[in-house]
């Protein structure tokens, strides 16, 4: 009986440590790099890490909003695999509609117009176990620098198209 109580007590003592270890989404190697390079990055419960590089203004983006962003995406070793930096042609999509990887949908909800953020995305919130060969390897941790240049709220009415005009030819 005493042995059972001791084992239960030990299990209760170490259970939080085991649960914490299960929540870490980065491999030990990737975690060491991230903690060294971005020691102040905040971590969400899903494993997404982020650093605010520039504060913006106004309300944060919400699911359904039409957002426009500029970005640069790299794998953890710094090799850039994709970017869009042309302010005249930003990437525009509806937030929270699976138009982008889950790490973006989660991270961009923390941004407002004019803000810049660094997102460190574990593979589970990125391109998964398969990656996106040849640009992105298997189980790749991704690093994105994103600037939110526009947010159009989902509840904002769409701009109506001009009414068609009927011009009849005179005979």
> pTM of the full predicted structure?
0.78
Beta carbons of 108 and 61 less than 8 angstroms apart: yes
pLDDT in tens, 5-48: 554 554 555 555 444 445 788 999 999 999 999 999 999 999 99
CA distances to 122, 146, 159 from 19, in Å: 18, 31, 50
pLDDT in tens, 82-112: 999 999 999 999 999 999 999 999 999 999 9
Instruction: Map out the domains of the chain as residue ranges.
Output: 22-152
The whole-angstrom separation of Cα 74 and Cα 48 is 15
Using pLDDT thresholds of 50, 70 and 90, give the confidence band for residue 2: low
Residue range 41-57: mean pLDDT, rounded: 96
Q: What is the largest CA-CA distance in the chain?
A: 107
Specify the CATH number of the domain 22-152. 3.10.50.40
135: helix, strand or coil: coil
**Weakest mean pLDDT among 3-7, 77-81, 91-95, 131-135:** 3-7
């Amino acid at each position: 009986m005493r042995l059972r109580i001791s084992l239960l007590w030990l299990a209760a003592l170490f259970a939080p440590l085991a649960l914490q270890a299960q929540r870490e989404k980065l491999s030990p190697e990737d975690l060491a790099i991230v903690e060294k390079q971005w020691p102040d990055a905040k971590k969400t419960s899903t494993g997404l890490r982020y650093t605010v590089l520039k504060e913006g203004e106004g309300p944060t983006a919400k699911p359904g909003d039409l957002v426009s962003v500029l970005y640069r995406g790299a794998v953890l070793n710094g090799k850039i695999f994709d970017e869009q930096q042309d302010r005249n042609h930003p990437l525009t999509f509806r937030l929270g509609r699976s138009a982008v990887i889950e790490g973006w949908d989660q991270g961009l909800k923390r941004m407002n117009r004019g803000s810049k953020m660094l997102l460190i995305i574990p593979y589970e919130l990125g391109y998964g176990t398969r990656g996106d060969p040849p640009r992105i390897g298997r189980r790749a941790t991704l690093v994105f620098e994103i600037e939110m240049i526009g947010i159009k709220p989902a509840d904002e009415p769409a701009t109506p198209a001009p009414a068609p005009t009927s011009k009849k030819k005179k005979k």
